């Protein structure tokens, strides 16, 4: 892609400051939006085919349409910046390198929907992002882009950074809302959806960082232009995070619908020397694993579905021939067990059980019947929990068992793991955090 949008400022020195951001055309989209009425802005977002960039891919314009037109109480915008899906790291770049783009997107969103308050809910670990965003917000207050009667338009909008404190589950929208209210981040039953009853009982829009950062471009160039930068139903340029055994891991911008092969070869620099691609996860660890014969799968929600996986966050992890697939399944089960909020029995118990069975198989203590047991177990977790964390455990575990059954069998038959170890380690001490 010749012209960059979302990552345009990533390499511009001091682009996180208001001065440089404005010198590069920043806040012009906001000023343009102030001349449009809310429904015209929502129409552009609908036309843009922007799909939520947090992983679920719900059409953003449709979500905006769920917000009430006349609310008795002040409405809230919450930007979900609690990015913690293994393999996913793109939103951090948006916040640390181009915070004003996100803030500009927030202001346009507030104007379009009549929102009074906004919170950017950031992973507590991302101190650099929190500091950078806070500085950028302070600059906007000084300039009159935030606060009361913004630029004389009559828009009152206050925006705050809210620091989370290390809980993956707060990336789930209602878990995040609970966290914002100062409670343990245990997801809520839906309905009611946040657009009707969200944070502090008020109508709340929950959008991802990259989604909101895309809004200024949709206003600047129009929804149709944004849609043309992608494929059917999947609009826009998009950020892809590439990691694993590749030459050039990092965050890259490319159109929606680009193939995994193009991303790997043209952006990621191909596999490392001596590494051959064995498997990849297309959009964060909760997506089903794919093999090299799916390299031509397009990065779109519909396209990925045809290959039996999902687009997720669009952050791809590549694994080479020395990677033990049992260990990957074990590692991920451990992750989801650690991060389960404990509210629903199938997820709380199932994730721990799956993790223990996979530990045993990886250590060579597995039994043949364990494979069927695992499949049965994850079938009982999926779809039986309040939020999607249970599915996020079940989908990958099932996929590793189905795509690489021979590796599980080899572990059981040989009574050991046939692959090189990940560091020797001296065993797990007690966990302090």
Partner 1 sequence: MALQFSEETEKQFQELVSRYPNTQAALLPALLLAQSEFGWVSVEVMDYLAERLELNPAQVLSTATFYTMFNKQPLGKAHIQVCTTLSCALCGGYEIIEHLEERLGIRLGETTPDGKYTLAEAECLASCGTAPMFQITFSDGEIEYYENLTPDSVDELLDELDKKLEQLPAPAEMH
* Residue 406, burial from CB neighbour count under 10 angstroms (0-12, 13-18, 19+): exposed
The 3 state secondary structure assigned to 69-87 is CCCCCCCEEEEEECCCCCC
Q: How many Cβ atoms sit within 10 Å of the Cβ of residue 421?
A: 9
Contact present, 273 and 76 (Cβ < 8 Å): no
Please report, as residue ranges, which positions from 1 to 60 form the binding site for partner 1 (by CB under 8 A).
none
- The binding track of 313-342 with respect to partner 1, each residue x by CB under 8 A or -, is --x-x-x---x----x--xx--x--xx-x-
Query: Least distance from C-beta 134 to partner 1, angstroms?
Result: 11
Give the one residue of 62, 165, 192, 414 binding partner 1; rule: CB under 8 A.
165
Alpha helices in 292-368 (DSSP H): 301-306, 325-339, 345-362
Question: What is the per-residue binding string for partner 1 in 49-88, x denoting contact by CB under 8 A?
Answer: ----------------------------------xxxxxx
Q: Contacts by 30-39 with C-beta closer than 8 Å and gap 24+? A: 30/104, 30/107, 30/108, 30/111, 30/145, 30/216, 30/219, 31/151, 32/219, 32/220, 33/107, 33/108, 33/111, 33/112, 33/219, 34/111, 34/151, 34/153, 34/155, 36/219, 38/111, 38/112, 38/113, 38/114
Estimate to the nearest angstrom the gap between the alpha carbon of 20 and the chain centroid: 28
Work out how close the CB of 158 gets to partner 1 at its nearest, in angstroms, rounded to a whole number: 8
Judged by beta carbon, residue 89 or residue 111, the one nearer partner 1 is 89
What does the alpha-carbon distance between residue 200 and residue 198 come to, in Å, rounded to a whole number? 6
Which of 107, 180, 195, 294 touches partner 1 (CB under 8 A)?
Answer: 180
Of 164, 213, 310, 340, the one binding partner 1 by CB under 8 A: 164
Does position 141 interact with partner 1 (CB under 8 A)? The reply is no
Nearer to partner 1, 69 or 430 (CB): 430
Nearer to partner 1, 131 or 367 (CB): 131
In 3D, which of 71, 76, 73, 66 has the Cα closest to residue 193?
66
What are the residues whose beta carbons fall under 8 Å from the beta carbon of 329, sequence distance 6 or more?
358, 396, 397, 400, 401
**Under 8 Å between Cβ of 389 and 347:** yes
Binding mask 199-218 for partner 1 (x = CB under 8 A): -x------------------
Q: Site residues for partner 1, window 234-253 (CB under 8 A)? A: 241-245, 249-251
d(CA 423, CA 12): 38
Closest among 331, 332, 289, 326 to 412, alpha carbons compared: 326
Q: Which of 51, 53, 92, 348 binds partner 1 (CB under 8 A)?
A: 92
With binding defined as CB under 8 A, does residue 184 bind partner 1? yes
**Minimum Å distance from CB 428 to partner 1?**
6
Select the residue interacting with partner 1 from 179, 203, 255, 298 (CB under 8 A).
179
For position 400 contacting partner 1 by CB under 8 A, the verdict is no
Residue 428 binding partner 1, by CB under 8 A:
yes
How far from the centroid of its chain's Cα atoms is residue 205's Cα? Answer: 16
Interface residue with partner 1 among 281, 381, 386, 395 (CB under 8 A) is 281
For residue 327, the minimal CB distance to partner 1 (Å) is: 8
Q: CB of residue 317 vs partner 1: minimum separation in angstroms?
A: 6
Residue 427 interacts with partner 1 (CB under 8 A)? yes
Minimum distance between the CB of residue 248 and partner 1, rounded to whole angstroms? 9
Which strands make up the sheet holding 237-244, listed edge to edge? 250-255, 237-244, 315-320, 277-281
- Does 271 engage in binding with partner 1 (CB under 8 A)? no
Q: Is 259 in the site for partner 1 (CB under 8 A)?
A: no
- 160: contact with partner 1 by CB under 8 A: yes
- Nearer CB in complex with partner 1: 144/342: 342
The answer to whether residues 407 and 395 touch, using CB atoms and an 8 Å cutoff, is: no
Find the binder of partner 1 among 114, 124, 222, 352 (CB under 8 A).
124
* DSSP label of 278: E
Bridge partners of residue 273, in order along the sequence: none
The nearest distance, CB 109 to partner 1, in angstroms, is: 19
3-state DSSP assignment of residue 222 = coil
**Span between the terminal Cα atoms of the chain, in Å:** 42
Query: What are residue 335's phi and psi, to 5 degrees?
Result: -60, -50
Q: Which residues are 259's β-sheet partners?
A: 298
For partner 1, which stretch binds (CB under 8 A), given 44-52, 139-147, 231-239, 417-425?
417-425
Q: Is residue 433 involved in binding partner 1 (CB under 8 A)?
A: yes
The footprint of partner 1 (CB under 8 A) covers 83-89, 91-92, 123-128, 160, 162-168, 179-185, 200, 241-245, 249-251, 281, 285, 315, 317, 319, 323, 328, 331-332, 335, 338-339, 341, 422-433
């Amino acid at each position: 892609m010749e012209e960059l949008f979302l990552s345009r400022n990533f390499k511009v020195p001091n682009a996180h400051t208001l001065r440089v951001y404005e010198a590069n055309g920043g806040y012009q989209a906001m000023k343009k939006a102030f001349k449009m009425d809310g429904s015209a802005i929502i129409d552009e977002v609908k036309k843009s085919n922007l799909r939520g960039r947090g992983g679920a891919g719900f059409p953003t314009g449709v979500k905006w349409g769920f917000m009430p037109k006349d609310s008795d109480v002040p409405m809230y915008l919450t930007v979900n910046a609690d990015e913690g899906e293994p393999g996913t790291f793109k939103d951090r770049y948006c916040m640390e390198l181009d915070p004003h783009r996100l803030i500009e997107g927030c202001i346009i969103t507030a104007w379009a929907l009549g929102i009074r308050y906004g919170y950017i809910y950031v992973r507590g670990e991302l101190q650099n992002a929190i500091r950078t965003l806070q500085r950028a917000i302070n600059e906007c207050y000084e300039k009159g882009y935030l606060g009361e009667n913004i630029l004389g338009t009559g828009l009152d909008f206050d925006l705050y950074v809210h620091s989370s404190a290390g809980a993956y589950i707060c990336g789930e929208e209602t878990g995040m809302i609970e966290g914002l209210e100062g409670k343990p981040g245990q997801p809520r039953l839906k309905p009611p959806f946040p657009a009707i009853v969200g944070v502090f009982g008020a109508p709340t829009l929950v959008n991802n960082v990259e989604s909101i950062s895309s809004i200024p471009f949709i206003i600047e160039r129009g929804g149709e232009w944004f849609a043309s930068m992608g494929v059917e139903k999947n609009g826009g340029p998009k950020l892809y995070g590439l990691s694993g055994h590749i030459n050039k891991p990092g965050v890259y911008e490319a159109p929606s619908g680009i193939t995994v092969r193009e991303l790997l070869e043209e952006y990621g620099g191909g596999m490392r020397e001596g590494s051959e691609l064995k498997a990849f996860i297309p959009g964060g660890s909760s997506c089903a694993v794919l093999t090299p014969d799916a390299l031509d799968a397009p990065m779109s929600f519909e396209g990925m579905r045809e290959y039996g996986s999902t687009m997720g966050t669009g952050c791809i992890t590549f694994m080479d021939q020395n990677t033990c697939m049992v260990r990957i399944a074990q590692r991920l089960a451990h992750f989801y067990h650690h991060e389960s909020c404990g509210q629903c029995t199938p997820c709380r118990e199932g994730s721990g059980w799956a993790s223990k069975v996979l530990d045993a198989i990886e250590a060579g203590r597995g039994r043949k019947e364990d494979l069927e047991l695992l499949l049965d177990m994850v079938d009982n977790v999926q779809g039986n929990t309040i939020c999607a964390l249970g599915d996020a455990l079940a989908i990958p575990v099932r996929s590793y068992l189905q795509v690489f059954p021979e590796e599980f069998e080899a572990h059981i038959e040989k009574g050991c793991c046939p692959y090189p170890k990940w560091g020797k380690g001296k065993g797990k001490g007690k966990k302090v955090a």
